[in-house]
Amino acid sequence: MAEEFKPKSIIVTGGAGFIGSNFVHWVVDRQPGVHVTVLDKLTYAGNLDNLAGIPDDRMDFVRGDICDAGLLEKLFPTADAVVHFAAESHNDNSIADPEPFVRTNVEGTYQLLEAARRHGTRFHHISTDEVYGDLALDDPARFTEETPYRPSSPYSSTKASSDLLVRAWHRTYGVAATISNCSNNYGPRQHVEKFIPRQITNILSGIRPKLYGDGKNVRDWIHTEDHSSAVWAVLTRGVPGETYLVGADGERSNIDVLRAILAAMGRGPDDFDWVRDRPGHDRRYAIDASKLRRELGWEPAHTDFAEGLSDTIAWYRDNVEWWQGAKEATEAKYAAQGQ
Ligand code: NAD
Ligand code: DAU
């Protein structure tokens, strides 16, 4: 474990999105001496309501693009660290139109690294387990920090590219950077395009849930609050130059997750439609997070998936106005793709 890094002022890119906003709330609630500057472009996935209730003296919000080097030049001088969540994050969108993924995920990360290099700013890069490709359903292996990169989709290949930039900027220019690669997050404020919120809000809207392919694909679910605590552990106690995998032993097939949602919402186990599979659909993700647990002492707090799912369903039931606006356009996009 490195000597503890104690930032007083951090820039959080993508802080108005799902995981970024949960992280900002986590920091404001648990790290009293830390000021947050959220830098977010407010794309279709960003929502200022996600930051409601945060006191003005704890957070500034800046609407802007991480590709804007001039803007970064204004924000970096007063920050001790940048925690970089901003990205185009949805695989299906990347298949339909990869261009914004290359721009934000690759060029945006490059611009942030250059700003960190100029200002000597600590850098924590949020990445995904998808950079490692996929595993077979019957393979006992899980991803570790040593697994070779083998991304499948336009989204995951741009995330892999951004990870490689971070590694190079650390080795070549000495930028004090860490990387975390996390598995699938769930919890409040996730966009309705993603699997779990899509199915919950379909049921709440009287639309049948949609399952891709044969439904046997496996994802390794982690509650987003546990991702937040892991990111804080890596930012403050991680070793620059190191990568840490984040996961909470939550492997589940899509059909099992969907049936858990159906049961929790009082529907029958077959009350859903099978739809066209995602091209290049990764079969299984599985994370071995023992380095994070062993070296940084991290433990997940949300170990009961049924309870986390039931809280998430309750959140969407109680916050219809938060998701209703995006629902129609999202479903129209899926319908056009046969999904
Ligand atoms: P999200 O799509 O909900 O939010 C992304 C945020 O980034 C939005 O607020 C959006 O407005 C902002 N943004 C997009 N382009 C921008 C730009 N050019 N400049 C500034 N802001 C911009 O994404 P998420 O699911 O919260 O994912 C956040 C990060 O975590 C991403 O880097 C993603 O790759 C990573 N990740 C996600 C998961 C998951 O399960 N969702 C798992 C592991 C890693
Ligand atoms: O593993 C981490 C990744 O998890 C993150 O890097 C991504 O940003 C995040 O979006 C997520 O990617 P996935 O592609 O795994 O998540 P998604 O919610 O899109 O889909 C989860 C699984 O559910 C996947 O196997 C596809 C399937 N699916 C998805 C949708 C939207 C369905 O069967 N039906 C659906 O309607």
The Å distance, Cα 40 to ligand 1 centre, comes to 10
Give a yes or no: residue 32 inside a domain. yes
- Per-residue model confidence as pLDDT tens digits over 239-294: 999 999 999 999 999 999 999 999 999 999 999 999 999 999 999 999 999 999 99
Active site residue 68: no
- Has 193 been annotated as catalytic? no
pLDDT digits (tens, 9 = 90+) for 281-307: 999 999 999 999 999 999 999 999 999
Q: What is the pLDDT of residue 1?
A: 64
Q: Residues 52, 188: contact at Cβ < 8 Å?
A: no
Q: Active-site residue among 155, 244, 285, 316?
A: 155
166 belongs to a structural domain: yes
CA distance 21 to 57: 17
User: Degrees (nearest 5) of the Cα angle 302, 304, 308?
Assistant: 70
Which atom of ligand 1 lies nearest, measured to the CA of 104? 18
Largest CA distance in the chain: 57
- Into how many domains does the chain fold? 1
- Protein residue with least CA distance to atom 15, ligand 1: 87
Residues with CB under 6 A from ligand 2: 89-91, 128-130, 183-184, 194-195, 198, 210-212, 217, 219, 254, 278, 285
Ligand 1 pocket, residues with Cβ under 6 angstroms: 13-14, 16-20, 40-43, 45-46, 65-67, 85-89, 104, 108, 126, 128, 159, 182, 184-185, 191
Tokens of 115: 């700003």
Which pLDDT band holds residue 210 (cuts at 50, 70, 90)?
A: very high
Q: Which amino acid is at 251?
A: E
pLDDT value of residue 168: 99
Q: In the prediction, which pLDDT does 278 show?
A: 98
Does residue 338 lie in a domain region? no
Query: Ligand 1 centre from 21 Cα, in Å?
Result: 10
Using most ligand atoms within 8 A of CB, pick from 131, 219, 221 the residue to mutate for ligand 2.
Answer: 219
Q: Are 152 and 134 in contact (CB under 8 A)?
A: yes
pTM of the model: 0.98
Give the side-chain half-sphere CA count within 13 A for 161.
Answer: 18
Residue 216: pLDDT band with limits 50, 70, 90: very high
Range of the domain at 103: 9-190+223-249+282-302
Q: How confident is the model at residue 116 (pLDDT cuts 50, 70, 90)?
A: very high
Mean pLDDT of the chain: 98
Q: Is the pLDDT of residue 2 over 90?
A: no
- Tens of pLDDT, residue by residue over 125-170, are 999 999 999 999 999 999 999 999 999 999 999 999 999 999 999 9
Task: Work out whether strand 59-63 and strand 218-220 pair parallel, antiparallel, or are unpaired.
Answer: unpaired
**How many angstroms separate the alpha carbon of residue 60 from the centre of ligand 2?**
31
- CATH of residue 73's domain is 3.40.50.720
Pocket test for ligand 2, best of 22, 184, 192 (most atoms within 8 A of CB): 184
| Residue 36 φ then ψ, to 5° | -115, 130
Q: Which atom of ligand 2 is nearest to the CA of 130?
A: 1
**Domain assignment of residue 100, yes or no:** yes
Whether 321 is covered by a domain: the verdict is: no
- Under 8 Å between Cβ of 142 and 204: no
pLDDT at 280: 98
Is 203 part of a structural domain of the chain?
no
Q: Compute the distance from residue 214 Cα to the ligand 2 centre, in Å.
A: 14
**Could you tell me which residues come within 8 angstroms of residue 96 by beta carbon, excluding any fewer than 6 positions away?**
333, 337
- How far apart are alpha carbons 122 and 177 in whole angstroms? 6
* Structural domain contains residue 68: yes
Ramachandran angles phi, psi of 113, nearest 5° = -65, -40
* Residue 175 CA from chain centroid, whole number: 23
Q: Which residues contact 87 (CB under 8 A, 6 or more apart)?
A: 14, 101, 104, 105, 108, 126, 159, 162
Structure tokens at 152: 């499948």
- Residue 3 confidence (pLDDT): 84
Of the candidates 40, 130, 220, 288, the residue annotated as catalytic is: 130
Please determine, for residue 228, whether its predicted confidence score (pLDDT) is greater than 70. Answer: yes
pLDDT tens by residue, 30-69: 999 999 999 999 999 999 999 999 999 999 999 999 999 9
How far is the centre of ligand 2, averaged over its atoms, from the C-alpha of 118 (Å)? 36
By CB atoms closer than 10 A (0-12, 13-18, 19+), residue 80 is middle
What kind and span of H or E run contains 12?
Answer: strand 9-13
In a domain, 268, yes or no: no
Interatomic CA distance for residues 292 and 283, integer angstroms: 25
| Tens-digit pLDDT profile for residues 309-332 | 999 999 999 999 999 999 999 999
Active site residue 244: no
